Structure 1
Amino acid sequence: MNYGIVIFPSKKLQDLANSYRKRYDPHYALIPPHLTLRNVFSTDDDGHIKEIADKLRNIAKKYDPFNLKAYKISSFQPVNNVIYFKVDSNPELEGLHNDMHGPEFLGLEPEYAFVPHITVAQKLSNDEHSDVYGSLRMMGIDHEEIVDRFHLLYQLENGSWTVYETFRLGKD
């Protein structure tokens, strides 16, 4: 089974992202807008996922709630035609990401450098990417909120994602 670890932003930011995603993101119906902390990984062992959940509980205790700031529209082009809300990196986000990629977790190095973001458009043709990116950049984004949890998700047979467990940040 496939799993992933994400932060779901507030409804306000999700609504804004979805106003674009419903037109420009083919994954719109499969998962709400999110910031990925750990890309997809697989395990079919119930004991192993419970062990991973225990490790995530311990990681969550290490970090206090933090400020998430989405501050501009950006793109991964020319690597791929993804347009996203860029999220300001901070020690908590970096720490969460690093802990979830460390040797004591699953130990797999991330495929790409960590760029905190919330995808709003993907799998666009070059022309479509250029048009959409140009118009979104003119509108911009300036959003801040407090994040106090992250989620372990699993993928259903139809390709959609649902929460396996939620982890609250902080010592309590």
Structure 2
Amino acid sequence: MKYGVVAFPSKKLQDLANSYRKRYDPHYALITPHMTVKGVFEASDSEIEQLSTSISNVVKRHKPFKLHATRVSSFSPVTNAIYFKVEPSEELINLHEDLHSEEMGGKAEYAFVPHITIAQKMSSGEHDDIYGQLKMVGVDHEEIIDRLHLLYQLEDGSWTVYETFRLTGAEN
């Protein structure tokens, strides 16, 4: 089964993201706006139990962190995805690294670019038009994230919460 670890932003930021996603993101109905902290991975039922315990141990070492969406950006030309850029705070980077230790399946497949996707899978022309418009509108939103969610993918392609973990923040 496919799993991933995400942080869900507040309803206010989700509503803003969804105002674009419902028009520009074919995954709109499959998953709530989110910031991926550990990308998609495969695990069996027995493996996910162990991984869930490991995630629980990781989050106990991390305090809640500030999510600050500062601008609209794009992964073009690699992919025509547009997103809210989230500032990579030290707390967030450390959390990401801890979720990619050897015990947790090793290094991430891609460089960590904290973001919330608002548009994807568009033609290049459509991407360029929409990206230009959204860059002008921009975003500036700050909030505190105090929990992470382990999600799994259902047969219809949608994602749902398997387990939620609070960032309790033992001092390092």
- Aligned twin of 2:93: 94
Question: Which of 95, 116, 124 in structure 1 is aligned with 2:114?
Answer: 116
Report deviation, 1:105: 1.1
Q: Check whether the contact 2:6–2:150 (CA below 8 A) recurs between aligned residues.
A: yes
Aligned partners of 1:162, 1:96: CA distance in 2, in Å?
22
**Residue in 2 that maps onto 1:29:** 29
Q: Give the counterpart letter for 1:38 in structure 2.
A: K
Q: 2:168 aligns to what SS in structure 1?
A: coil
What residue identity is the alignment partner of 2:23?
R
**Across the two proteins, how many residue pairs are aligned to each other?**
170
Alpha-carbon distance between aligned partners in 1 of 2:7 and 2:51, rounded to the nearest angstrom: 17
Contact 2:64 2:169 (8 Å CA) reproduced: no
Cα distance in 2, alignment partners of residues 38 and 66 from structure 1: 16
2:131 counterpart letter in structure 1: Y
Q: TM-score, normalised by structure 1?
A: 0.96
Shift of 1:141: 0.4
Q: How far is the alpha carbon of 1:157 from its aligned partner?
A: 0.4
Distance in structure 1 (CA, Å) of the matches to 2:81 and 2:169? 36
Runs of 4+ in 1 over 6 A off after TM superposition: none
Cα displacement (A) at 1:111: 2.2
Tell me the alpha carbon deviations over residues 114-164 of structure 1, each in whole angstroms, 9 at most, x when there is no partner.
000000000010000000000000001010001000000000000000000
Query: Which residue number corresponds to residue 38 of structure 1?
Result: 38
Partner Cα separation in structure 2 for residue 82 and residue 110 of structure 1: 19
TM, length-normalised to structure 2? 0.96
SS for the counterpart of 2:26 is: coil
The aligned runs of 1:1-172 (5 Å cut-off) are 1-44=1-44, 46-107=45-106, 109-171=107-169
SS of the counterpart of 1:170? coil
Extract unaligned runs of 5+ from structure 1.
none
Separation in 2, partners of 1:19, 1:171:
33
Distance in 1 separating the partners of 2:46 and 2:102: 19
Unaligned segments of structure 2, at least 5 residues = none
Q: Which secondary structure state, in structure 2, belongs to the residue aligned with residue 4 of structure 1?
A: strand
